[in-house]
Structure 1
């Protein structure tokens, strides 16, 4: 299929529909200000022309009021700006809904990267047995995280879903009603959600999307690739962080984790009950009907009361359904056999856990907790730990911890709350395993993992508290910063040479999951170095693990946008080459990436299939993706050059003040979108290491400067141009899919940048020179990426994606203008020395905060 038809389909099914529905939407009066819908197009035009003429946001807003609304007083003008924000937020929702509705039309659901395509290709090349063998031991795990980049409250997500359905059917009266509902439904959250609230909102996706799409994919593989009804490797599974991720979130307590695990179990039991209820209407046969009714009753009671006396195990439920299927096949002409089989498959995929609840905590917290544990054990007088434990070397401590037989039976002796909660969480893991099955909670991730001791402290605590006889928990180190990535192979070798830890790995199938984080990697080392650092770490960790007979499973902490390891993720997985272990693809999905890539049945199925086939593609074509020594040297040099440039930029004296005073960074905390604090430390002064990746990347995105997605790339490429060696980079681009994907994702960051918005800053006495540094790097990167790819415009190879971005950027142009206008007003008032509680200043700050929502939602995965 050529590129052109896809763009045509987008223009017909998305763009034209948006223009039609938007004109209906604009005529709706949501409140007393009936003229908003009429005035917004005029304001949009004023913004567009103003930026083309080089005007700044303040001039643009003032010009609009002088030209069209001269008689409005100051208060009325502010009210109109708030109304504009209200309308634009909802225009974004409308565009989301139309794009979701058109997904199967715009994307070829049987095209390249889908399972049907994979099967047909394997059949044509007589490689079906090879494909089956590959699927026997390959897995994709997506892990839903609660990281706060989703600005839609649950009620609005519901409206988007219903609106998509109505648009698909062109049901005008329903669309009109939903527009009205949309206008009256608040987007702003008045209080922060709790971790349990976050879990509930993501369980909605499990129930309404993944339960169905996972089942469909598994059924297809079972029926069309294996052509049998046997139980196979599940291939896809799901992880879950809300309620388990306590890294930097003091509100996640042991009770929260248990409560979420119970909610997950009730949710999956309810889904099984609903399926049984549908089956009951069909299986009205002798010897079958009574048994289905009995199962339905049992699961109904069980889904309401987890302590139900009639409770049934997963094994018993499956055996009963297999027995029913056998009767249906032998005595009732296999009527509705497929429907029974579909339910059996879902039970195989989800068990009683629905999703695996991961636990995560920072190594520094563990270190202080474990110090308290040692002190308490030594004070009790009956510990096998030596008195001088704290004075011993790291190696000696590791050796002692691997052999310790200490037990902690009474947690109440620990007065420190963090110590008590950490140990209690270990007890809760054991409890969840009993309740939801071992896979209900069997992974513990240590973020900021720097040493083997970090891992062994947790290893010892797990054994001391709840897993003395058999440790059924996988310990997962998370390496994020550039130095941590470089040290990772050494850390793992220390663990692999420890007999106790190796015995544990043997009991876990000789597999070691290792998590690598993009977000903080990019924040720490810049775009090229973060990606190349992770690539190299994966190669070395693969080699190190294979040396000791261990299969490394890589779990990627990928965010939504390229700046946080996102972008077109499946392209990365199909480009890894033979030097990186690829038995499983595991990645975090968060914020708008959940709703934009997996939020509907069609997008969920399509993107999951793309991930499955990306692994296959890499396995089959991995030799092609192998880097030659020359290409590797160029890649390393580019990464190191960009790393140095980015480090210099980050240490510029204006870097922190610019983010603090010229961006929306400090407003993120006011949006009430996530349960955890927006920065790590407690100091009033902004410290770079305290910055969380999401507000950091998001603030650059609001400025339309997307620095983390390109900074340093241009300078690194220019070095080769200046030396007359640009052909070496061109060679690398041509030869290596990983590098190609990296640069194409960077182009997305550049496409979403718009420097005319903040051009006024170039004349600022304090920040002008700093703004110019960023702008120059943007221009250099853009020019050289076009030169390298041979494109005339950015994202030329992806016209549909580019078209979608252009529409979204156009929708929010007035919103960005209003935000910059308000920021400038706040800055002027601060310079004039007005107090923090000045009413005018508070109003403008409210405008900045309110306009964050639409901007982020429009980019869908910009933060």
Structure 2
């Protein structure tokens, strides 16, 4: 499994060294010369943000495919995708068609998150249609007639945009003083940690919660619950500002990978709500910190939204996918009251004189209900 930005960059070298081992070559010979390589989408996003992670994954797949070709090995890429855009989610057919040319070749494996099982497989007709879309996308991605080499100009633009986006992301989450305090108090991360969800603890090492120790799922989950949805778009506006508008429009129309980046970010932006996020920001005790961080997030949100609309030619977010657009517009008004209740319960819990007493426990029960409801309404957890 290669998942962090550093691991993705090192993947071809590691595979080359592995394939050079006599004992492993004998193993491959006895198993048909096939190699499965898993790539993860979660930690790379938490490391460098949405755009930098997407581009790093694209380049890593190309390099992994070349490493396997150099040693005559049949590659199957196993995509460890999550349910949210920040963790590689989104429509799977779109994601498959966005893979680098020459990396699918009729072989494709991906994870399906538990939160998506009911919506995709509970009804036999929907399950059949979903699998039909995946198979069709794999066939299209494998066809030489649909594969097109990526323009050097597009690649250069993506290099520059990934750097700009990562810089914007790091400026916020790594170099903003007391950003950790903001995240801890403007999101329900501490209550998410208490939930008996998932197969692994929310924090990797010990009890200290930091951006580096918290796992990607609760990191994304906390931002989704508070309607910032930050991991699914932050830095994209800074990235798009680095390229010529005409080039961006060309890339959006002709490059499935770039189109998927913008289309998925549109969905993230539409599910976010800066008005509600501002109320969560109001939970931060340090008002100067709250004002500074929220101002940066709100500014980047507006910049990202405007830049996407210019590049796509849409009048509103998700105009290119009216079915999903309508679904989000229908669901959001039912989610909003749950956010209001959650904010008030968090405020009361944090003001409680006895955080372990029965009153606090009742507040946590209500918060848990709102967490479940918001996740169901937005159709995303982490």
**TM-score (ref. length: structure 1):** 0.42
Query: What's the offset of the Cα at 1:809?
Result: 1.4
Look up the SS of the partner of 1:512 in the other structure: strand
Query: What's the offset of the Cα at 1:577?
Result: 4.4
Residues 660 and 622 of structure 1: is their aligned pair in 2 closer, same or farther, counting only changes over 3 Å? farther
Question: How many Å separate the matches in 2 of 1:524 and 1:511?
Answer: 31
Query: What's the offset of the Cα at 1:543?
Result: 0.8
Question: How many Å separate the matches in 2 of 1:624 and 1:657?
Answer: 47
Look up the SS of the partner of 1:491 in the other structure: helix
Residues 622 and 636 of structure 1: is their aligned pair in 2 closer, same or farther, counting only changes over 3 Å? farther
Question: How many Å separate the matches in 2 of 1:509 and 1:649?
Answer: 48
Q: Give the equivalent residue in structure 1 for 2:201.
A: 677
Question: How many Å separate the matches in 2 of 1:698 and 1:622?
Answer: 40
Establish whether residue 700 from structure 1 lines up as the match of residue 223 from structure 2: yes
Of residues 47, 72, 87 in structure 2, which corresponds to 1:549? Answer: 72
**Greater mean alpha carbon deviation, residues 636-645 or residues 606-615:** 636-645
Give the 5 Å matches for 1:377-396: none
Query: What's the offset of the Cα at 1:565?
Result: 0.1
Question: How many Å separate the matches in 2 of 1:801 and 1:584?
Answer: 28
Q: Give the equivalent residue in structure 1 for 2:93.
A: 570
* CA distances 1:210-234 after superposition (whole Å, capped 9, x unpaired): xxxxxxxxxxxxxxxxxxxxxxxxx
Question: How many Å separate the matches in 1 of 2:145 and 2:359?
Answer: 61
Q: Give the equivalent residue in structure 2 for 1:778.
A: 301
Question: How many Å separate the matches in 2 of 1:801 and 1:688?
Answer: 31
Q: Give the equivalent residue in structure 2 for 1:7.
A: none
Query: What's the offset of the Cα at 1:738?
Result: 1.0
Query: What's the offset of the Cα at 1:580?
Result: 2.0
Question: How many Å separate the matches in 2 of 1:484 and 1:624?
Answer: 27
Question: How many Å separate the matches in 1 of 2:122 and 2:182?
Answer: 36
Establish whether residue 626 from structure 1 lines up as the match of residue 149 from structure 2: yes
Question: How many Å separate the matches in 2 of 1:706 and 1:781?
Answer: 13
Residues 766 and 649 of structure 1: is their aligned pair in 2 closer, same or farther, counting only changes over 3 Å? closer
**Do the aligned residues in 1 keep the contact of 2:99 with 2:141 (CA within 8 Å)?**
yes
Question: How many Å separate the matches in 2 of 1:666 and 1:854?
Answer: 18
Residues 669 and 557 of structure 1: is their aligned pair in 2 closer, same or farther, counting only changes over 3 Å? same
Q: Give the equivalent residue in structure 2 for 1:660.
A: 184
**Do the aligned residues in 1 keep the contact of 2:9 with 2:60 (CA within 8 Å)?**
yes
Q: Give the equivalent residue in structure 2 for 1:768.
A: 291
Q: Give the equivalent residue in structure 1 for 2:252.
A: 733
Query: What's the offset of the Cα at 1:624?
Result: 4.5
Question: How many Å separate the matches in 1 of 2:99 and 2:366?
Answer: 45
Look up the SS of the partner of 2:206 in the other structure: coil
**Do the aligned residues in 2 keep the contact of 1:815 with 1:851 (CA within 8 Å)?**
yes
Query: What's the offset of the Cα at 1:500?
Result: 0.8
**Do the aligned residues in 2 keep the contact of 1:562 with 1:745 (CA within 8 Å)?**
yes
Q: Give the equivalent residue in structure 1 for 2:354.
A: 835
Question: How many Å separate the matches in 2 of 1:581 and 1:542?
Answer: 9
Question: How many Å separate the matches in 2 of 1:666 and 1:799?
Answer: 36
Q: Give the equivalent residue in structure 1 for 2:267.
A: 748
Give the alignment's Cα RMSD to 1 decimal.
1.8
Of residues 101, 113, 117 in structure 2, which corresponds to 1:590? Answer: 113
Question: How many Å separate the matches in 2 of 1:577 and 1:527?
Answer: 18
Give the 5 Å matches for 1:51-66: none
**Greater mean alpha carbon deviation, residues 602-611 or residues 671-680:** 671-680
Question: How many Å separate the matches in 1 of 2:348 and 2:275?
Answer: 18
Of residues 826, 831, 845 in structure 1, which corresponds to 2:364? Answer: 845
* CA distances 1:459-518 after superposition (whole Å, capped 9, x unpaired): xxxxxxxxxxxxxxxxxxx00000110000000000111111111011111111000000
**Do the aligned residues in 1 keep the contact of 2:236 with 2:304 (CA within 8 Å)?**
yes
Q: Give the equivalent residue in structure 2 for 1:511.
A: 34
Structure 1 segments unaligned to the other structure (5+ residues): 1-477
Residues 655 and 595 of structure 1: is their aligned pair in 2 closer, same or farther, counting only changes over 3 Å? farther
Residues 539 and 610 of structure 1: is their aligned pair in 2 closer, same or farther, counting only changes over 3 Å? same
Query: What's the offset of the Cα at 1:621?
Result: 5.4
Question: How many Å separate the matches in 1 of 2:66 and 2:277?
Answer: 47
Query: What's the offset of the Cα at 1:719?
Result: 2.7
Residues 674 and 619 of structure 1: is their aligned pair in 2 closer, same or farther, counting only changes over 3 Å? closer
**Do the aligned residues in 2 keep the contact of 1:579 with 1:626 (CA within 8 Å)?**
no
Look up the SS of the partner of 1:552 in the other structure: strand
Look up the SS of the partner of 1:689 in the other structure: coil
Question: How many Å separate the matches in 2 of 1:601 and 1:653?
Answer: 51
Look up the SS of the partner of 1:777 in the other structure: helix
Establish whether residue 799 from structure 1 lines up as the match of residue 318 from structure 2: no
Establish whether residue 603 from structure 1 lines up as the match of residue 121 from structure 2: no
Give the 5 Å matches for 1:480-499: 480-499=3-22
* CA distances 1:390-420 after superposition (whole Å, capped 9, x unpaired): xxxxxxxxxxxxxxxxxxxxxxxxxxxxxxx
* CA distances 1:433-463 after superposition (whole Å, capped 9, x unpaired): xxxxxxxxxxxxxxxxxxxxxxxxxxxxxxx
* CA distances 1:243-262 after superposition (whole Å, capped 9, x unpaired): xxxxxxxxxxxxxxxxxxxx
Query: What's the offset of the Cα at 1:841?
Result: 3.8
Residues 862 and 786 of structure 1: is their aligned pair in 2 closer, same or farther, counting only changes over 3 Å? farther
Residues 838 and 575 of structure 1: is their aligned pair in 2 closer, same or farther, counting only changes over 3 Å? closer
* CA distances 1:338-394 after superposition (whole Å, capped 9, x unpaired): xxxxxxxxxxxxxxxxxxxxxxxxxxxxxxxxxxxxxxxxxxxxxxxxxxxxxxxxx
Residues 599 and 609 of structure 1: is their aligned pair in 2 closer, same or farther, counting only changes over 3 Å? same
Question: How many Å separate the matches in 2 of 1:849 and 1:862?
Answer: 13
Question: How many Å separate the matches in 2 of 1:675 and 1:513?
Answer: 24
Question: How many Å separate the matches in 1 of 2:225 and 2:329?
Answer: 16
Question: How many Å separate the matches in 1 of 2:333 and 2:39?
Answer: 35
Query: What's the offset of the Cα at 1:849?
Result: 2.1
Question: How many Å separate the matches in 2 of 1:669 and 1:698?
Answer: 10
User: Between Structure 1 and Structure 2, whose CA radius of gyration is higher?
Assistant: 1
Question: How many Å separate the matches in 1 of 2:153 and 2:133?
Answer: 31
* CA distances 1:127-156 after superposition (whole Å, capped 9, x unpaired): xxxxxxxxxxxxxxxxxxxxxxxxxxxxxx
